[in-house]
Amino acid sequence: MGRALTSPVHLGADSPGSYRDLSLWHATAEDDWLPRPPLPGNVEADVVVVGAGFTGLWTAYYLLEADPSLRVHVVEAETAGFGASGRNGGWCSALFPKSPERLARLSGSDRGAAVRLHEAMRDSVDEIGRVTAAEGIDAQYTKGGTVTVARTPVQLRRARGEIAEARAWGRGEDQLRLLDRAEAADMIGAAGALGATYTPDCAALHPARLVRGLARAVERRGGHLHEHTRALDVTPGRVVTDHGTVRAEVVVRATEGYTPALPRQRRAVIPVYSLVVATEPLDDAQWAEIGLAGRPTFSEHRHLVVYGQRSADGRLVFGGRGAPYHFGSSVRPSHDRDDDVWAGLRASLRELFPALEGTRFTHAWGGPLGIPRDWCASVGLDPDTGLAWAGGYVGDGVSTTNLAGRTLRDLVLRRDTELTGLPWVQHRSRSWEPEPLRWLGVNAGLRAMTLADREEQLTGRPSRIARWMAPLLGH
């Protein structure tokens, strides 16, 4: 989230408080959220980036670091960090939204390519920590890893399968290990936990602080950010906005879940909503029961995606999928809200942590993320047209955007590097089906993953629904 919109919210330069109301992260970013001036008219540039979220800002940052003489302009319909980059769950992980087997097929069954991409993702987690320290960005970055609990025999079986797959790909206990009941309880006080998996390759952070700090770092390096500047059309050599046209040799589309708003991009990705809730700060007695010392992010080996973290100010932040896909890839502020999903998240978190009984929830928010048809993120540059892109992160974008930014730097500067040889580079997903097939299929899939968890609760066996859905989800 956090890019150009066909029907922008335009909360207004005179009402920055409205931006602060978007999420817990926006409210606690210690930023005035005053929009930067829009594009002053027609501009000539070397590189123009559409979207001031993580993808666009990392790209601008690394380009200017490599060549300070470049004229880099970033246009944004709202303000930097308005969308997913400011509203996500704060997981900076090595997760990539495509199975190793599928990644290997992208490179002609080259297993080594999939391994190299995973190592690049691991490096990206550390690279973000390095940049935040170097640039003085207080993103509350803590690399505590991720613990994923198994609370039923079926989930424990799935956890063991994940370990077996990791070993088959050469990943040892230093990357992913199985925790028994006692080890899991030492890390996370989840009700009924039978065990868990743990990886050190994740950091919890404050996403809005990171994206706002990154925007300032881009400006310090000479980049130009134009907020409240809506992209109307993106074509080779130019970006037409509601405040003028930027002409540049390279045009980077970094619009993620808002991509369908652009001409000719209606079916490139679908915007699927993920929603999040947050508690009030918890007391020491509650944390003694809940655990999560060292701030590991946490999840559960269920089918419907959930994700959580212990924030630096002592809250539990917990999110998940489940909100419907809206017909025609619609993205509107009203879609950020779903009281039923929020209620379900609160109930799930209380059930997971009984110590939350009586605890008040203070924030609830949501927003769209981008999903390509084959669930595979991609990054690339067409050398003939100068059009570049990155996105389709399927919710795993905090660290993947960093890898995308460094890769786009190398592609734009025509460098042949290890990054430009990774299997997701120059990959193109096919288009989503036209409506109403898109609406019917996507919502059936979202519903199926909820039913898969219920099926396992009733039968005590691995879900048949989930097995049928796996090929459609990139697994």
Tell me the per-residue pLDDT of 407-460, one tens digit each, with 9 for 90 and over.
999 999 999 999 999 999 999 999 999 999 999 999 998 888 888 878 788 788
**Neighbouring residues of 81: CB distance < 8 A, sequence distance ≥ 6:** 2, 26, 29, 52, 53, 207, 208, 211, 212, 215
For residue 474, pLDDT over 60 is answered with no
Domains in the chain, number:
1
The range of the structural domain enclosing residue 446 comes to 139-199+271-373+435-473
Tokens of 339: 């009281």
Is 308 a member of any domain? yes
Residue 403 lies in a domain: no
Answer for the pair 353, 345: CB distance below 8 angstroms, yes or no: no
Determine the residue type at 316: L
pLDDT confidence band for 107 (50 / 70 / 90): confident
pLDDT at 103 > cutoff 50: yes
The answer to the question of residue 419 being in a domain is: no
6-48 tens-digit pLDDT:
233 444 434 455 899 999 999 999 999 999 999 999 999 999 9
Q: Model-level pTM?
A: 0.94
Q: How far is CA 126 from CA 95, 144, 200, 235, in A?
A: 13, 12, 11, 35
- Residue 254 and residue 49 in contact, taking contact as beta carbons nearer than 8 Å: yes
Is residue 443, in this structure, part of any structural domain at all? Answer: yes
Q: What is the mean pLDDT of the chain?
A: 93
Is the pLDDT reported for residue 49 higher than 70? yes
| pLDDT above 60 (res 177) | yes
Q: Which residue has the higher pLDDT, 348 or 108?
A: 348
Residue 358 domain-assigned (yes or no) = yes
Question: The domain that contains 454 carries what CATH number?
Answer: 3.30.9.10
Strands 91-93 vs 202-204: parallel, antiparallel or unpaired: antiparallel
Q: What percent of the chain has pLDDT over 70?
A: 95
Q: Specify the pLDDT at position 446.
A: 85
CB 231 within 8 A of CB 75: yes
Counting runs of H as helices and runs of E as strands, what totals does the chain give? 14, 18
Tell me if 411 is assigned to some domain.
no
Residue 430 domain flag: no
Residue 456: inside a domain: yes
pLDDT at 93 over 50: yes
